[in-house]
Amino acid sequence: MTEPIASQWIDIKDAGSAYLALPPGGRGPGLLLLQEIFGVNAHIRSVAEQYALAGFVVLAPDVFWRDAPRIELGYEGQQRQRGIALAGTLKPETLVADLRAWVAALRARPESAARKLGAIGYCLGGRLAYLAAAHAGVDAAVAYYGGGIHQQLALVPAIGCPMQFHYAGQDDNIPPAAVQAVREAFADKPAQVLEYPGTQHGFNCWARASYDAPAAALALGRSLQFLAQTLF
């Protein structure tokens, strides 16, 4: 039986490499999938395939390509600390350049050419999806528990595309005041700010201790509905 998803690693000129997952029909809207601090690991590749099954051409770039190409990290102990350290080396100016390069590469793919393109990200990637909305010309963006967004609200006027935010109800990294600041900043924008009571940071990742299946399923459904409405 032929696998419904075709996937491979591809090189991107001057921007590292990325994991590409194609939908069963071979074509569809583009979706830039932005990793957590743990690299494009098995979980992120599975998420890419999950969204490819829903009809999107998914590109998951290696954010740490300069310092640790294709690194895959676990979620605890020294590996988690390694991810935090790598995230700390990222520079705003190179991140924006990389985001633009990744978006351009996805728009140039024959499988998604002339179609709309969105961004979705988790944790670090949630903040990067927000930056993609401000700087990289995506048509929609979804940010799961993106740390630091509330400290970059000066970018809100630059965001013209619809956005959807997902936040854990009990996130040690993102306090309620930060979520409220995002909600208020986007009050006049086409945006949804969604919270999941009783959940913790990383609730969408089935490989983490904080995984919450009901919340993850609800968030996935909301994300798919949002992306279907804005990109197809």
* pLDDT (tens digit per residue) in 106-121: 999 999 999 999 999 9
pTM of the predicted structure, to 2 decimals: 0.97
CATH 3.40.50.1820 at 6-231, yes or no = yes
Residue with the two structure tokens 């190179």: 94
Structural contact between residues 59 and 20, judged by C-beta atoms closer than 8 angstroms: yes
* pLDDT (tens digit per residue) in 185-215: 999 999 999 999 999 999 999 999 999 999 9
**Residues with a known catalytic role:** 123, 171, 201
Domain ranges of the chain: 6-231
Structural contact between residues 51 and 32, judged by C-beta atoms closer than 8 angstroms: no
Q: What's 60's DSSP letter?
A: E
| Exposed e or buried b per residue across 203-221, where buried means at least 16 C-beta atoms within 10 angstroms of its C-beta | bbbeebebebeebbeebbe
Structural contact between residues 187 and 157, judged by C-beta atoms closer than 8 angstroms: no
* pLDDT (tens digit per residue) in 117-158: 999 999 999 999 999 999 999 999 999 999 999 999 999 999
CA–CA distance, 42 with 62 (Å, rounded to integer): 13
Comparing CA positions, the residue from 184, 123, 139, 134 lying closest to residue 32 is: 139
Q: Is it the case that residue 2 has pLDDT exceeding 90?
A: no
